[in-house]
Chain A
Amino acid sequence: MYSIEVNKLTKVFGKFVAVNGISFNVNQGEIFGFLGANGAGKSTAIRMLCGILEPTSGDAILGGYSVMNQPDKVKTQIGYMSQKFSLYNDLTVEENINFFGGVYGLYNHKLEERKKWVLKVAFLEGQKHLLTASLPGGIKQRLALAIAVIHEPKIVFLDEPTGGVDPISRRNFWDLINELSLSGVTVFVTTHYLDEAEFCNTITLINAGNIIASGSSKELKTKYLTNTILEVECDKVVSALDILSKQKWIDETSIFGNYIHINVKDENVGRILVKKVLTEQNSINISRLDKIVPTLEDVFIYLLEKDENKNAE
């Protein structure tokens, strides 16, 4: 049995199809990355999975309960943490823990036990009387996650959890996510940081309400991107980019810092042609021309553009 089973989940607002019959499964204890541009339908999908937005059609089963028929039961099975810090800034750390513990039906002995755990995880042992507003961003984020799982749910949703947090705190935060996953909690996470997506066991890419790719980071890079990516280092980068983007034999051109990435069908033909158009026809010096392992960013840009072109037709 899967931890999350999504079956043709659809949400229509008026005439706008926000989520268009998506289906996927998530294993227990998996870190599931849900990626997509703003407005792709990510938030709508998460809201449906959390039982706060009723699907137009289709269904999802979370921890054995249907979001269509038993949204209240679903809510007891999940934890949720959003990009917007949603603990009470005007309460102390302990008061926040007591409140959310109370909301999830924890009291007395059990509450004390979980309180200890939350304080430890958030690096706040012995500081439970601090006002939440006074905590640094990274600590707040850890506290929010720890409180989101105070009732030990089997599934936790993290909606862009690391927005606005420094890189070290982000790294620590992902260690915490890994710990949760190892203890058997299914982690459903959305993010804009593609380096974070690499930590996910499965990545699903959504665009315009449809899933356009799914798989592990390695699978995405090999399965979907059959072309070769060449990295060109040369002088006059701007004019070189201009020239290359006009070539019909290049599927895609993009700029990464001072380098140009081009997407070609055949590595050897590509090398010859690049040299020909840049050095011979336009006398631009190429200092380096390498085949590179594509990054997730390469894959996503390729997939999204392909999908946009398909939608445009």
Chain B
Amino acid sequence: MLNRIKAIAIKEIRQLKRDSRMLYVLFVFPIILLVIFGYAINFDVHHIKMVIYDQDKSTDSRNFIKSLTSSEYFDLVGYINTSQQIKNVLDTKTAQCVIVFPRDMSEKLYSRQTAKVQILVDGVDANTATIILNYMNIATAAYSQKIQGEMLASVGRSGYIPIDVHPAFWFNPALDSMIFLIPGLIVMILMITAVVSISLSIVREKERGTIEQINVSPLTSLELLIGKTIPYVIISLIIGTFILISGHFLFGTMIKGNIILLFFSTLLFLFAALNLGIIVSSIANTQQVAFQIATLVSMLPSMLLSGFIFPIESMPWVVQILTNITPAKFYLVVLRAILLKGVGIESFWPQLVYLAIFSLVLLFLSSLINKKSKVV
């Protein structure tokens, strides 16, 4: 049995070496994904372009502007002098937000009235607009507090703040979204490469008729599948390692947890993903169809339903149930726990159990389909 599995694994690697298209899919595709996702999907908003319409032109308005531009969040791109220009500035996307200081701002401040500062935000990208508004609120609140403190001091009193919040974010102190995205990216890339590679490799045998020769040989389905899986498990592990290393150098991710635990959880996840690929191969009869189904069942769920980009907790409950169809969801929890938190198996063993059950169910299903169609 071992000799037969070895013969298949060796054959598979030799074929792969001559298949430049497949090598491209396996090795270049992850790099492209990593770069695209790494640099394009970035939820942090920096360098917001800001235009000022300062009717007051006082020390107070200048101080406020200075407090904004001294952070890396806001960049001052210009001043305007009429309210008609506001529309133009937002339309041409010269600025993402316009701050309007009223003529009577310093006057109101000195007479201890509330000065109203208007902020106009380009709301086309709702996500970014919300973030800009949040930054602006925080900056304004801080500035107001400073003025309040100064005023109280001038009359000989000290300020009193009832509750002072000191936020501290664990595991990702700078709230850098890339650190959060890297595990998801690893999950998605491994999922796609594993499902696509194994399904293409099996369907190719069907398409070229070589499966017939294997069917009449004493080789069992299980031996064939194990033999075919081994090379792709090794390749997927290499790709995973590669992403981790490039993640470290490009985005500064680290492995905080146990590397052996990481290895075995990855192995379990790959087993589930490869089983999914085997199911795809038993449905498809041509490589073209297999490739399409494989990318569909691997890419979409691991991107949309795994919690990679969109948090599962905020989905409607029907969709939340639906998220269980992808092993990516469970592996992502494990990966984030190991990479970001550095915690042990006690916090994610249910996910590992689920992955194991998922794989066994798929293995059973695929052997059932195979028995019926007698292709593998």
Query: Do A and B make up one complex?
Result: yes
Binding site for B on A (CB under 8 A): 50-53, 72, 75-76, 78, 80, 82, 84-91, 95, 98-105, 107, 148, 157
A103 touches B216 (CB 8 A): no
Q: Which residues of chain B are near A82, meaning CB under 8 Å?
A: 209, 212-213
Q: Which residues of chain B are near A99, meaning CB under 8 Å?
A: 7-8, 10-11
The answer to the question of B4 belonging to the interface, with a C-beta cut-off of 8 Å to chain A, is: yes
Supply 14 further A-B pairs (C-beta < 8 A) apart from A87-B213, A102-B4: A52-B216, A53-B374, A76-B218, A86-B213, A89-B208, A90-B15, A91-B15, A91-B18, A99-B10, A100-B213, A101-B7, A102-B11, A103-B4, A103-B218
A105 touches B208 (CB 8 A): no
Q: Which residues of chain A are near B214, meaning CB under 8 Å?
A: 103
The answer to the question of B70 belonging to the interface, with a C-beta cut-off of 8 Å to chain A, is: no
Q: Which residues of chain B are near A88, meaning CB under 8 Å?
A: 11, 15, 208, 210
Q: Which residues of chain A are near B218, meaning CB under 8 Å?
A: 72, 75-76, 103-105
A107 touches B15 (CB 8 A): no
Q: Which residues of chain A are near B208, meaning CB under 8 Å?
A: 86, 88-89
Proximity bits, B1-22, A CB within 8 Å = 1, else 0: 0011011101100110011000
Proximity bits, B185-222, A CB within 8 Å = 1, else 0: 00000000000000000000000111111111111100
B217 touches A75 (CB 8 A): yes
Return the 6 tightest CB-CB contacts between A and B, nearest first: A102-B7, A84-B209, A80-B216, A86-B213, A99-B11, A75-B218
Q: Which residues of chain A are near B19, meaning CB under 8 Å?
A: 90
Q: Which residues of chain A are near B216, meaning CB under 8 Å?
A: 50-52, 75, 78, 80, 157
For the complex, what is the distance from the CA of A75 to the CA of B213, rounded to whole Å? 11
B210 touches A86 (CB 8 A): yes
Q: Which residues of chain A are near B4, meaning CB under 8 Å?
A: 102-103, 105
Name the one of A84, A95, A103 contacting B14, with C-beta atoms under 8 angstroms: A95
For the complex, what is the distance from the CA of A267 to the CA of B218, rounded to whole Å? 56
Name the one of A86, A98, A104 contacting B209, with C-beta atoms under 8 angstroms: A86
Please give the distance in Å from B226's CB to the nearest CB on chain A: 13
Q: Which residues of chain B are near A102, meaning CB under 8 Å?
A: 3-4, 6-8, 10-11
- Chain A residue with the shortest CB-CB distance to B9: A102
With A86-B210, A102-B6, A107-B3 in contact, do A91 and B11 touch (Cβ < 8 Å)? yes
- Chain B residue with the shortest CB-CB distance to A89: B208
A80 touches B213 (CB 8 A): yes
Q: Which residues of chain B are near A100, meaning CB under 8 Å?
A: 213, 217
B212 touches A86 (CB 8 A): yes
Q: Which residues of chain A are near B210, meaning CB under 8 Å?
A: 86-88
Please give the distance in Å from A287's CB to the nearest CB on chain B: 50
- Chain A residue with the shortest CB-CB distance to B216: A80
Q: Which residues of chain A are near B219, meaning CB under 8 Å?
A: 103
Please give the distance in Å from B301's CB to the nearest CB on chain A: 32
For the complex, what is the distance from the CA of A78 to the CA of B213, rounded to whole Å? 12
Q: Which residues of chain A are near B213, meaning CB under 8 Å?
A: 80, 82, 86-87, 100, 148
Please give the distance in Å from A272's CB to the nearest CB on chain B: 56
Q: Which residues of chain B are near A75, meaning CB under 8 Å?
A: 216-218
Q: Which residues of chain B are near A105, meaning CB under 8 Å?
A: 3-4, 218
Q: Which residues of chain A are near B11, meaning CB under 8 Å?
A: 88, 91, 95, 98-99, 102
19 contacts between A and B (CB under 8 A): A52-B374, A72-B220, A75-B216, A82-B212, A82-B213, A85-B209, A90-B18, A91-B11, A99-B10, A99-B11, A102-B3, A102-B11, A103-B4, A103-B7, A103-B8, A103-B219, A105-B4, A107-B3, A148-B213
- Chain A residue with the shortest CB-CB distance to B217: A103
Name the one of A53, A76, A84 contacting B212, with C-beta atoms under 8 angstroms: A84
Q: Which residues of chain A are near B220, meaning CB under 8 Å?
A: 72
Proximity bits, B240-253, A CB within 8 Å = 1, else 0: 00000000000000
B212 touches A98 (CB 8 A): no
Residue from A76, A98, A103, A104 having most chain B Cβ neighbours under 10 A: A103
For the complex, what is the distance from the CA of A99 to the CA of B11, rounded to whole Å? 6
For the complex, what is the distance from the CA of A85 to the CA of B209, rounded to whole Å? 7
For the complex, what is the distance from the CA of A258 to the CA of B44, rounded to whole Å? 87
For the complex, what is the distance from the CA of A157 to the CA of B212, rounded to whole Å? 13
- Chain A residue with the shortest CB-CB distance to B16: A90
For the complex, what is the distance from the CA of A260 to the CA of B361, rounded to whole Å? 66
Proximity bits, B219-239, A CB within 8 Å = 1, else 0: 110000000000000000000
For the complex, what is the distance from the CA of A103 to the CA of B219, rounded to whole Å? 7
Q: Which residues of chain B are near A101, meaning CB under 8 Å?
A: 7
Proximity bits, B265-304, A CB within 8 Å = 1, else 0: 0000000000000000000000000000000000000000
Q: Which residues of chain B are near A72, meaning CB under 8 Å?
A: 218, 220
- Chain A residue with the shortest CB-CB distance to B7: A102
A52 touches B209 (CB 8 A): no
For the complex, what is the distance from the CA of A99 to the CA of B374, rounded to whole Å? 22
For the complex, what is the distance from the CA of A181 to the CA of B209, rounded to whole Å? 27
For the complex, what is the distance from the CA of A75 to the CA of B269, rounded to whole Å? 35
Q: Which residues of chain B are near A91, meaning CB under 8 Å?
A: 11, 14-15, 18
Please give the distance in Å from A63's CB to the nearest CB on chain B: 13
Please give the distance in Å from B287's CB to the nearest CB on chain A: 13
- Chain A residue with the shortest CB-CB distance to B215: A52
For the complex, what is the distance from the CA of A158 to the CA of B11, rounded to whole Å? 25
Scan residues 1-54 of chain B and give those whose CB is less than 8 A from a CB of chain A: 3-4, 6-8, 10-11, 14-15, 18-19
Q: Which residues of chain B are near A98, meaning CB under 8 Å?
A: 7, 10-11
For the complex, what is the distance from the CA of A75 to the CA of B221, rounded to whole Å? 14
Name the one of A87, A104, A157 contacting B217, with C-beta atoms under 8 angstroms: A104
For the complex, what is the distance from the CA of A91 to the CA of B213, rounded to whole Å? 15
- Chain A residue with the shortest CB-CB distance to B219: A103
Q: Which residues of chain A are near B6, meaning CB under 8 Å?
A: 102
For the complex, what is the distance from the CA of A50 to the CA of B18, rounded to whole Å? 32
Q: Which residues of chain B are near A90, meaning CB under 8 Å?
A: 15, 18-19
For the complex, what is the distance from the CA of A87 to the CA of B210, rounded to whole Å? 6
For the complex, what is the distance from the CA of A123 to the CA of B99, rounded to whole Å? 86
Q: Which residues of chain B are near A52, meaning CB under 8 Å?
A: 215-216, 374
For the complex, what is the distance from the CA of A102 to the CA of B217, rounded to whole Å? 11
Q: Which residues of chain A are near B211, meaning CB under 8 Å?
A: 86
Please give the distance in Å from B21's CB to the nearest CB on chain A: 11
For the complex, what is the distance from the CA of A101 to the CA of B217, rounded to whole Å? 11
